[in-house]
């Protein structure tokens, strides 16, 4: 139980990055999790890697091309710098709700949550009363993987960066990301997403990820049943635009290895397309 809660707290700020509505005009991407960013005045290429955030140890992999790109980089930049103790402290604090769920939700919403929670985890709503609904969401999401030995790609990259003694940074903070999430979803929308979580959906996503099928993974994780047009704009588009404003300054200084949720790569306002529109050459590294 302790490991389950630990994984959920670590994943709470990461879970929502792959759960926004698909964009209809999204360009089809080649099958690759790793992309090279060059041109537009860069002296050295940087790299963009799409993560699935959470995965079972038996399914975890790190391709040779990814290892080579990481070794060639001088800085690791994630969505959030979880190597920063302050960010982790904020994460643990924000995992707790501002008020108990029993006060925040209506009796009907609590009953629905209790049914979903017991079916997915065997726990009841009283056991998670102190947590935020986002934390409960992540708790159930982790459970759909069906294993106890969860690995987080962001944490794996951080350990590798520490061993190489290279700088680690973040494109946003825990507090800013949580504020975004609060504006993106209503409680009813979160409950709707909870109902859509399943082991079969997770298994499908993992299979697509292992095949580096970015377009297929994008379609699955951005199913319109899980979100809305407003959420899509807040969770993906606006954040991608902000990231791409900051990425040039980082890449101009040195070769950077960016690791973000794979759902941020695709779409008209995906990081790949936005970087291309900004004048960069962004190509998949296939082997």
Q: How far apart are CA 133 and CA 80, in angstroms?
A: 20
Q: Residue 183: its pLDDT value, please?
A: 76
Cα–Cα distances (Å) from 139 to 53, 65, 144, 217, in that order, read 14, 32, 9, 21
Any domain includes 249? yes
How many Cβ atoms are within 10 Å of 14's Cβ, its own excluded? 24
Q: Residue 226: its pLDDT value, please?
A: 59
Q: Which domain holds residue 38?
A: 19-83+149-284
Any domain includes 162? yes
Strand ranges (E), the chain = 34-38, 46-51, 54-56, 75-78, 150-152, 167-170, 256-261, 281-284
Q: How far apart are CA 24 and CA 196, in angstroms?
A: 21
Any domain includes 8? no
Q: Residue 16: its pLDDT value, please?
A: 52
Q: Residue 70: its pLDDT value, please?
A: 98
Any domain includes 127? no
Tokens of 274: 């936005």
Any domain includes 68? yes
Which residues 6+ apart lie within 8 Å of 21 measured at CB? Answer: 222, 223, 224, 226, 227, 228, 229, 231, 232
Model's pTM, two decimal places?
0.88
Residue 236 sits at φ, ψ, to 5 deg, of: -105, -70
Q: How far apart are CA 201 and CA 213, in angstroms?
A: 15
Which residues 6+ apart lie within 8 Å of 1 measured at CB? Answer: none
Tokens of 267: 């779409």
Q: How far apart are CA 80 and CA 170, in angstroms?
A: 4
Any domain includes 32? yes
Q: Residue 12: its pLDDT value, please?
A: 53
Q: CB of 158 within 8 A of CB of 88? A: no
Any domain includes 139? no
* CA neighbor of 132 nearest in space, from 259, 260, 287, 8: 8
Instruction: Pick out the chain residues at pLDDT < 70.
Output: 1-27, 221-229
* 3-state secondary structure (DSSP) of residue 170: strand
Q: Residue 217: its pLDDT value, please?
A: 77
Domain count, the chain: 1
Any domain includes 112? no
Q: How far apart are CA 186 and CA 208, in angstroms?
A: 29
């Amino acid at each position: 139980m302790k490991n389950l809660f630990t994984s959920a707290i670590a994943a709470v700020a990461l879970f929502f990055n792959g759960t926004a509505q698909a964009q209809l005009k999204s360009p089809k991407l080649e099958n690759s999790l790793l992309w090279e960013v060059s041109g537009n005045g860069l002296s050295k290429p940087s790299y963009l890697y799409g993560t699935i955030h959470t995965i079972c140890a038996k399914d975890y992999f790190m391709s040779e091309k990814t290892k080579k790109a990481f070794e060639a980089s001088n800085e690791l930049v994630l969505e959030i710098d979880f190597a920063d103790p302050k960010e982790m402290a904020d994460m643990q604090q924000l995992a707790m709700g501002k008020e108990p769920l029993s006060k925040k939700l209506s009796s009907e919403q609590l009953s629905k949550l209790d049914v979903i929670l017991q079916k997915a985890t065997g726990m009841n709503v009283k056991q998670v009363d102190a947590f935020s609904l986002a934390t409960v969401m992540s708790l159930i999401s982790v459970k759909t993987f069906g294993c106890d030995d969860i690995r987080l790609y962001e944490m794996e990259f951080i350990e590798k960066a520490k061993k190489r003694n290279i700088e680690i940074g973040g494109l946003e903070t825990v507090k800013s990301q949580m504020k975004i999430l609060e504006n993106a979803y209503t409680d009813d929308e979160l409950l709707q997403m909870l109902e859509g979580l399943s082991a079969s959906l997770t298994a499908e996503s993992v299979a697509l990820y292992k095949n580096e099928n970015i377009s297929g993974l994008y379609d699955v994780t951005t199913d319109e049943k899980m979100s809305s047009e407003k959420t899509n704009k807040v969770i993906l588009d606006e954040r991608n635009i902000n990231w791409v404003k900051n990425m040039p300054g980082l890449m101009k200084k040195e070769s950077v290895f960016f690791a973000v949720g794979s759902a941020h790569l695709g779409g008209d306002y995906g990081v790949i397309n936005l970087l291309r529109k900004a004048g960069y050459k962004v190509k998949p590294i296939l082997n």
